[in-house]
Homo-oligomer: A and B are copies of this chain.
């Protein structure tokens, strides 16, 4: 029931996803009558979908703490519960991000070896597509959090981008004498001395994001969230300027008619629906966050991300990597405890 256009967009997006991935099964959590009415529009869904009924929905302006106290029986709560009890392999929600994060963390708990979960997402770059984490789950991160993010991010790039040995970089600033804060420097030192299943390339600066300097950008949730949203805002601003440029006079309007095909390709390349589907990594279960404003195609993309992770067995990969590298990531915590 989450998202601006739910449940219609959720059901239609599922029908779209089913056409691409015919062996997926769906468990819709929400108002049974309402969902069934939407499902009736897509006969293919009938045999492969069931409904867990609830009329409770987390509102987009509910605080995470409110949601935690009052909304365990909401559509969001039921979806996470389905992952917890094994009825579903992964939950996909277009609802309130803060509530989804808080409830996922509380109900699923973090994996052994992970102190904090992270929100990871895809973004378009000049080289193609890259992933970035954390996008806002944790605003303050120490070096061990960043190392764990790097390990989880690389596993995600393997599952979603199909990369055998992704490149991973730590976002950092380039003008300061000591090049960044302590967490970033210590995380880099640690990663340099670990036998990693990915290629750690060291520090990258913010302009590396648009270039696609690495496959996975790792940073704390504060700068990651600011960088992602700043990029989205600038992209919208430039798109607006382009629209104005084409509308400025008759000649430029004519120009648009001729250039329309190229411009449409550009818009497709940057379409946020293509990159929809943030993932909370580091929990004992998979939860995917769709943009609240996603359309059916965007929701289908988020389902695609979810299915790719399940098929890849990403949770096992992360658990294995953490276990193998455990001594290295755990060092400072042992030292801190001793």
Contacts and interface: CB of A to CB of B under 8 A. Distances in A.
Interface string A212-234: 00000001011101111111111
B221 A223 contact: no
A265 B242 CA distance: 10
Nearest to A207: B233
Interface string A243-263: 011111101101111111111
Contacts of A210: 230, 232-238
Given A126-B237, A137-B176, A223-B222, A245 B229 contact: no
A125 B221 contact: no
A207 B225 contact: no
Interface in A53-77: 63-65
A98 B175 contact: yes
Contacts of A140: 181
B257 A229 contact: no
A235 B233 CA distance: 11
B252 A180 contact: no
Interface string A117-143: 001000011100000000111111000
Contact of A261 (B139, B242, B251): B251
A136 B205 CA distance: 12
B233 A245 contact: no
Given A207-B236, A209-B230, 20 more contacts: A64-B177, A101-B175, A101-B176, A119-B175, A139-B180, A174-B225, A174-B229, A205-B225, A205-B229, A206-B225, A207-B233, A210-B237, A222-B223, A223-B227, A227-B230, A238-B238, A242-B266, A246-B259, A255-B257, A258-B258
30 contacts: A97-B175, A98-B177, A119-B175, A124-B237, A126-B240, A139-B173, A139-B176, A140-B181, A174-B229, A206-B233, A207-B229, A209-B233, A210-B233, A210-B234, A210-B236, A211-B237, A223-B227, A227-B230, A230-B230, A231-B233, A234-B234, A246-B262, A247-B262, A251-B259, A252-B258, A255-B255, A255-B257, A255-B259, A255-B262, A259-B259
Interface of A: 63-65, 97-98, 101-102, 119, 124-126, 135-140, 171, 173-177, 180-181, 205-211, 219, 221-223, 225-238, 240-242, 244-249, 251-252, 254-263, 265-266, 269-270
